[in-house]
Amino acid sequence: MTDVYLDVQRASRCTNLPPDEQIGRWVSAALEGHRDEAELSIRITDSEESQRLNHRYRGKDKPTNVLSFPAELPPGVPLPLLGDLVICAPVVAAEAEAQHKSLPAHWAHMVVHGTLHLLGYDHIEDHDAEIMEALEVRILAELGYPDPYQPLETPAAGETRPHRQD
């Protein structure tokens, strides 16, 4: 079992946010087998803040579902600091609706996805994406959620299908 020290900051006007305890369970599930101890912050934002950060750090002038900021500790510093996640509540809600997913399932996916990024997983190259996505699917299944990359039903014309995050 991983000891998680989690700071959840709620900077969103959205009211349908998961409770801290649930977020902690999702983080712990993603960390299982990777770390014995971890410290991270999750900031839940509205679209404006997400867009500013996405533009500043990724050069994309639009809000995004999750941004990850891994801790960059000097070698030999034995702190459990993992990093920070910024999750945009309105984007998560809009994606869940467009992709016909339950809001809790999509929140779980965003927290697991972001936490895996903090652990060093990525999906830029196809091979790395396959590894990361398989891990996400396994973790989410263990939490009782469906495969986030498979639609629950066939989307109508103009609706979006699940896709790689970020």
Q: Which residues are annotated as a binding site for Zn(2+)?
A: 113, 117, 123
| 57 token code pair | 């750090």
Residues 6+ apart with CB under 8 A from 103: 16, 92, 93, 96
With 0-12 / 13-18 / 19 or more C-beta atoms within 10 angstroms meaning exposed / middle / buried, residue 165 is buried
Spatial distance between the Cα atoms of 92 and 12, rounded to a whole number of angstroms: 12
Paired tokens of 149:
């990359």
Find tokens 């999906």 and name the residue: 123
Annotated binding site: 113, 117, 123
Q: What share of the chain is helix, strand, coil (3-state, %, to 5)?
A: 40, 20, 40
